[in-house]
Amino acid sequence: MLKGKVQMGTPAATLARWYQDRLEDCSPEDRIWGWSIRATEVLHHEKDRLDDECLRQMLYQGLKDTAVGAPAWTKKLSIKEGVHFLSAISTRIVQRVLKVDYKVILDASLLMRADGILL
């Protein structure tokens, strides 16, 4: 694990290590917290590329505590609430994948000749 403070905008090698770090020297709870921080940064820096505001909000809700100044989660969800929440996020992601699949298939079909060969 990378020791010390890591900030976005540091050298590319440091950023690559930050994104690929499995946080193996942390407790399971600290790993989840660390990955949540990393995911929050990704959502922030990729907000222009992720054009689904609803999905972004759903992901943020799962990653951040809503309490002002909270360092981690201050409220526990029941297992049932967690499963419902993850199912909602997964469904939204599946919608996006299907949308991309449809567009790729549609674009590919426009490039095919009548005999099925790509132009």
When computed from its CA atoms, the radius of gyration of the chain, rounded to whole angstroms, is 19
Q: By mean pLDDT, which of 2-11, 13-22, 32-41, 88-97 is the weakest?
A: 2-11
- Residue 1 confidence class, pLDDT cut points 50, 70, 90: very low
- Write down the pTM of the prediction: 0.58
Cα 36 off chain centre by? 9
Query: Domain boundaries in the chain?
Result: 1-66, 77-119
Q: By mean pLDDT, which of 42-46, 63-67, 72-76, 94-98 is the weakest?
A: 72-76
Q: By mean pLDDT, which of 11-15, 54-58, 87-91 is the weakest?
A: 11-15
Contact 1, 23 (CB under 8 A): yes
Residue-wise pLDDT for 70-102, tens only, equals 655 566 767 877 777 787 788 888 888 888 877
Q: What's the length of the chain?
A: 119
